[in-house]
Structure 1
Amino acid sequence: MALTSTLSGRTALVTGGARGIGAAIVRDLVDRGASVFFTYLSNKDLATDMCRKLSSGSQRVVAFQADACDRASDGKIVSAVLEAFPAGIDILVHNAGGSVVKPLEDLTYEEYRRVYELNVAAPLFLTQALLPNLKRPGRIILIGSTGARLGMFGGSLLGGAKAGVEGMMRTWAQELGPKGVTVNCVCPGATDTDKMAKGAPEVIEKYFKARTPIEQRLGRPEEFATVVGFVASDDARWIAGKCILAYGGHYMI
């Protein structure tokens, strides 16, 4: 069987697509031939520049400012997507996320609410709002984290929220599979992004590098994005309800 990983003629929505892993996912989907609508939180200049550089010919790249934690934004995102792509979309990638890394005794209720709103409620309700306009066959890809499977110090919120993402993914795969939509989760480990550079102490970075058998380094956003691109393609038509770890072998789990 010939590989068909091209996404020519497809349209995708990527949340949190202006920076880091999200931007790499947008670029990979575009490289495969897709047109992409992506959301961003605050950096309009960066998002606009991405659209200008990546749009070409019949391929459109459209950016939309939205706070993933604001449930009122779901309808606005769907309206903007349909304005850009009236026929709907083929691929939905829930990349927007984030967490607070603190010991259990230091966590606050507001931090809990923010992390679970961003990582669990946001993909749930945006998927619900967009589902009538997701083409069949369709792809839903959630971005998880190895933190859901590892006992990471200070990772109560990250681990709990991303475990919830995995649980939703399996349920959606059962519910939506008969309707022609595959649902999967792709999980990065420690990745060399601006967020990682700002948020992780040097000792944590050294720890991840030392425990990663492939070249003993952090992952690169584009290496993770290629896995998402594959899962979005027809080559992954028989993969559903699966959590795929792309993390250089950091822990064999």
Structure 2
Amino acid sequence: MNRFTDKTVLVTGGTSGMGLATAHRLITEGAHVIVTGRTRARVDAAVQELGPHASGVVADTTDLDAVDALMETVRDRHGRLDSLFANAGTGTFLPFENITEKDFDHGVDVNFKGVFFTVQKALPLLADGGSVVVNASWTLHRGNSVLTLYSATKAAAHNLARTLAAALAPRGIRVNSISPGYIDTPMYPSAALSTTEAKALTDGIVAGRFGRPEEIASAVAFLASSDASYVNGQDLVIDGGLIGAVPA
């Protein structure tokens, strides 16, 4: 498929995990992809892995000056964006009573403020008829006692996607979110779990396993492409059946 030939796509948090896998997928379909990360070493390593159809910018999405500089770089290099995958995020996995103000501020800054202003500042570059995909989470659909802060920030990001779908409709820009389940990534590596912990999680998943970043990339590529031209304001849950079905 060449759904992204001559298209330029920005992937925030694109140096590992779901972001890096999505960058790979979009490049195989013809896109030029700009990835962001918080350190020069990670950005350079990602660009080297992705090849000549990728470029990278060091940018912390919680720093609005850095986001401004990111968009200026994109404008200088490419002139426009056709799609944006607002993927940069963080996890705060603590019991409710143990969350500090510092934890709260960091979680909200990365998972909501960063997404909010990344999309806002990308708008002048986004072509009419373009697309935005926001990385939310399965946790916005199902309560979990150690994910109170994380779930709330991801629910905010999803709701932002829904409201932006309405706000940007006059320009033909579609906005959707994805809700990944347990995905084997550097932020949540299955290898770091004990056999007992891993079994406790996978026993609740109809698919019986963690998802792969490449499976998320396929969904993002669909939502960002013209194949999803009539999909707008939706949340696509990619969780192996975690929230929608009970294992036999």
1:12 partnered with 2:4: no
In 2, Cα distance between the equivalents of 1:68 and 1:205?
Answer: 32
Deviations 1:148-186 (A, max 9, x none): 111112111111001101111111001101211000001
How far off its partner does 1:110 sit?
A: 0.9
TM-score, scaled relative to structure 2: 0.93
2:236 corresponds, among 221, 227, 244, to 244
2:56 pairs with 1:63 = yes
Q: Does 1:28 align with 2:20?
A: no
Contact 1:208 1:250 in 2 (8 A): no
Paired residue type of 2:83 = I
Tell me, in whole angstroms, the C-alpha distance in 1 between the residues paired with 2:197 and 2:233: 31
Secondary structure of 1:196's partner? coil
5+ long unaligned stretches in structure 2: none
Moved over 6 A (4+): none
**Residues 142, 165 of structure 1: 8 Å contact kept:** yes
Which of the numbers 216, 220, 231 marks the counterpart of 1:224?
A: 216
Which amino acid is the alignment partner of residue 32 of structure 2? S
State which of 164, 174, 180 in structure 2 corresponds to 1:182. Answer: 174
**Corresponding pairs, count:** 244
* Residue 110 (structure 2) aligned to one of 101, 113, 118: 118
Query: Which residue of the other structure, out of 48, 52, 62, is the alignment partner of 2:48?
Result: 52
Deviation readout 1:103-129 (Å, 9 max, x if unpaired)? 111110111011011011111112111
Q: For residues 29-56 of structure 1, what are the alpha-carbon distances to aligned partners after superposition, in whole Å with 9 as ceiling and x for unaligned?
A: 11111000110112x3343233234334
Q: Does the 8 A contact of 2:190 with 2:210 survive in 1?
A: no
- Preserved contact between residue 187 and residue 247 of structure 1 (Cα < 8 Å): yes
> Could you tell me which amino acid in structure 2 is paired with residue 22 of structure 1?
G
Quote the Cα distance in structure 2 between the aligned partners of 1:164 and 1:200.
29
Q: What is the correspondence of 1:101-112 to structure 2 with a 5 Å cutoff? A: 101-112=93-104
Query: Residue 76 of structure 1: which of 52, 64, 69 is its match?
Result: 69
Distance 2:42 2:57 in 1: 12
Of 37, 40, 49, which residue of structure 2 is paired with 1:40? 37
Cα distance in 2 for partners of 1:142, 1:41 equals 19
TM-score, scaled to structure 1: 0.91
Which of 144, 147, 155 is the matching residue for 1:152? Answer: 144
Q: Is the partner of 1:29 in helix, strand or coil?
A: helix
CA contact (8 A) 1:62 1:84 kept: no
Calculate percent identity across the aligned residue pairs: 28
**How do 1:207-222 and structure 2 match up within 5 A?**
207-214=200-207, 216-222=208-214
SS in structure 2 opposite 1:153?
A: coil
The whole-number CA distance in structure 2 between the counterparts of 1:25 and 1:81 is 19
| Structure-1 separation of matches of 2:192 and 2:156 | 23
Q: Conserved in 1, the CA contact under 8 Å of 2:10 and 2:83? A: yes
RMSD of aligned Cα (Å): 1.7
Asked if the contact 1:5/1:235 (under 8 Å) is kept, the reply is no
- Aligned residue for 2:64, secondary structure, equals coil
For 2:61, give the aligned amino acid. A
